[in-house]
Amino acid sequence: MTEVAETKIVIAKENESAQEVKAVVSVEEAAASEQAAEVKGIKDGADADLAVALPALEEAVKKVKAINVNDFYELKVISTPGKSIVAVFKTVL
């Protein structure tokens, strides 16, 4: 055999091996794309939930910062709530 013929045989075998690897890679690429789409869906859902939760959290933080400690001491002094306070709580509950 000539050197050219031998090289053609080697190239043909390498090409065949490359085609097999390409087929495996194509399958793995499809699976990875599917997983990426699923993860993107989960991320988008989480981002939407976060967009709703963050304003509520910020509002809660503002309310907590607005609490005056002296109001708690004032409430502690009251042993029995007045009738108007009881009526308000009954209405709310």
What are 4-40's pLDDT values in tens digits? 888 998 999 999 999 999 999 999 999 999 999 999 9
Distance CA 12, CA 6 (A): 10
Asked if the model's pLDDT at residue 43 lies above 90, the reply is yes
Cα separation of the two ends of the chain: 98
Tokens found for residue 50: 């976060």
What are the boundaries of each domain within the chain? Answer: 3-67
3-state secondary structure the chain: CCHHHHHHHHHHHHHHHHHHHHHHHHHHHHHHHHHHHHHHHHHHHHHHHHHHHHHHHHHHHHHHHCCCHHHHHHHHHCCCCCHHHHHHHHHHC
What are 59-89's pLDDT values in tens digits? 999 998 988 888 878 777 777 878 888 888 8
In this predicted structure, what is the pLDDT of residue 18?
A: 92
Q: What is the CA radius of gyration of the chain?
A: 36
